[in-house]
């Protein structure tokens, strides 16, 4: 029997279903009444995160031995999808906690995992992933941030750009060059705590969407980090941690896309059932039905691909990178299309802040940009096309 037998079983147990229903209730009660205000005033969702922590929503993202609930890792993907249905900004910041933890999960020592993952699992602390720079996004080898070993410490200098949760997070996984001569094989990953001397943050970026999710520069000026905070206590393996993290996180972005799309679709159906034109509800017009049919079909197709990518990633399947790229590409582009159509169905009302679809429309675009643009995903998929073509009969 293959080690991947039954990998595409998406069965949700009763225990998982209970957690998801609780997540829906929590989001309806805590996010929906606040999301417009949080968006308008760029207010970070601290109160909501506190509720998430108390309910165990952060706990489902981690193993039991590190303070988590010890449930199916697949539940993390499903929970992030639920959050995204109600507010992509909240889901982005919550997902970034897991993103910041992934390099430690992939390469950290047991001591590092216990020390840093446990408070994240309990919702006591927030994490951030600091890889991107002003001149290096998907081009990881172009990093400029560098770390120099001095005694039992590393001194870091450089600037990270577009960092989700920057300024709010307590724990940062930071990537820096430790051996320039080795190129990408000379990158290391460090765990940096917020109160570290020499660490500061740039201005809050004024974004089009996901405005309650804070994005800032992370600035390091002669910042000293103890040697014990080098992930895995091994230098020059940070590139591997970064690639593993990106492959692991792309299914999360894909499910964020399906979650947002589901939320937009529900708003469109609700409006279509209420709005009357020419003496009948607009949901009875064939043109509207066709738009809704296209929307729900795209959602289900994107969801299945996202779940497949997630299952592959969680089980270290050799095709995980390929399917993570496909899922991220399809789901993010579908979300933009679905939110556009949902707003169109609202007519002029959808263009106002009186309806949540206006915010969803603005939020959707980021899905095609962060964690690798749609074009980067196509490059990744294209590399597999070339590889396949060499053996194609």
- Whether 81 is a known active-site residue: answer no
Please tell me whether residue 139 adopts helix, strand or coil conformation.
coil
Burial class (CB in 10 A: 0-12, 13-18, 19+), 317: middle
| CA nearest to 246, candidates 123, 358, 137 | 137
- Which residue(s) pair with 276 in the sheet? 281
- Looking only at the bridges linking them, the beta strands covering 127-130 and 171-177 are parallel
178, 188 Cβ separation under 8 angstroms: yes
C-beta neighbour count of 157 within 10 angstroms: 16
DSSP 47-87: HHHHHHHHHTTTGGGS-GGGTS----THHHHHHHHHHHHH-
Helices 286-314, 238-274: crossing angle, 10 deg rounding: 160
CA–CA distance, 105 with 107 (Å, rounded to integer): 6
Rounded (5°) CA angle 302-305-306: 80
Instruction: Point out the catalytic residue in the list 30, 85, 105, 371.
Output: 371
CA 344 vs. chain centroid, Å, equals 27
DSSP 87-116: -HHHHHHHHHHHHHHHHHHHH--HHHHHHH
CA–CA distance, 377 with 254 (Å, rounded to integer): 12
CA–CA distance, 104 with 109 (Å, rounded to integer): 8
Q: Which two tokens stand for residue 193?
A: 């705590």
- Strand ranges for the chain from DSSP E: 127-130, 146-150, 153-164, 171-177, 187-193, 199-201, 215-226, 276-277, 280-281
Q: Which two tokens stand for residue 280?
A: 């009948």
178, 187 Cβ separation under 8 angstroms: yes
Q: Which residues are catalytic?
A: 371
């Amino acid at each position: 029997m293959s080690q991947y037998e039954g990998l595409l079983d998406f069965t949700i147990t009763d225990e998982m279903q209970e957690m998801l229903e609780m997540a829906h209730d929590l989001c309806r009660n805590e996010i929906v009444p606040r999301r417009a205000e949080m968006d308008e005033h760029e207010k970070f969702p601290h109160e909501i995160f506190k509720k998430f922590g108390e309910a165990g929503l952060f706990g489902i993202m981690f193993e039991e031995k590190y303070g988590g609930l010890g449930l199916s890792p697949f539940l993390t993907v499903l929970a992030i999808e639920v959050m995204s249905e109600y507010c992509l900004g909240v889901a982005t910041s919550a997902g970034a906690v897991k993103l910041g933890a992934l390099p430690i999960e992939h390469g950290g020592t047991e001591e590092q995992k216990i020390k840093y993952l446990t408070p994240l699992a309990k919702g006591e602390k927030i994490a951030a992933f600091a890889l991107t720079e002003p001149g290096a996004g998907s081009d990881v080898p172009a990093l400029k941030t560098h770390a120099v070993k001095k005694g039992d410490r590393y001194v870091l200098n450089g600037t990270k750009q577009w960092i989700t949760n920057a300024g709010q997070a307590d724990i940062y996984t930071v990537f820096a060059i430790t051996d320039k001569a080795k190129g990408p094989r000379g990158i290391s990953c460090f765990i940096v705590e917020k109160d570290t001397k020499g660490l500061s943050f740039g201005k809050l970026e004024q974004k089009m969407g996901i405005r309650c999710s804070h994005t800032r520069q992370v600035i390091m000026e002669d910042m000293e980090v103890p040697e014990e905070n080098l992930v895995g206590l091994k230098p020059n393996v940070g590139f591997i941690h970064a690639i593993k993290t990106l492959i692991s996180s792309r299914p999360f972005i894909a499910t964020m896309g399906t979650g947002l799309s589901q939320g937009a679709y529900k708003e469109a159906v609700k409006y279509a059932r209420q709005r009357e034109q020419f003496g009948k509800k607009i949901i009875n017009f064939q043109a509207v039905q066709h738009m809704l049919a296209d929307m729900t079909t795209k959602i289900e197709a994107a969801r299945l691909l996202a779940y497949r990518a997630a299952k592959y990633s969680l089980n270290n399947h050799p095709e995980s990178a390929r399917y993570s790229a496909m899922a991220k590409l399809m789901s993010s582009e579908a979300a933009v299309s679905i939110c556009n159509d949902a707003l169109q169905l609202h007519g002029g009302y959808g263009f106002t802040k009186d309806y949540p679809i206006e915010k969803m429309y603005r939020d959707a675009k980021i899905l095609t940009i962060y964690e690798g643009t749609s074009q980067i995903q196509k490059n990744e998929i294209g590399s597999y096309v070339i590889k396949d073509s060499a053996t194609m009969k």
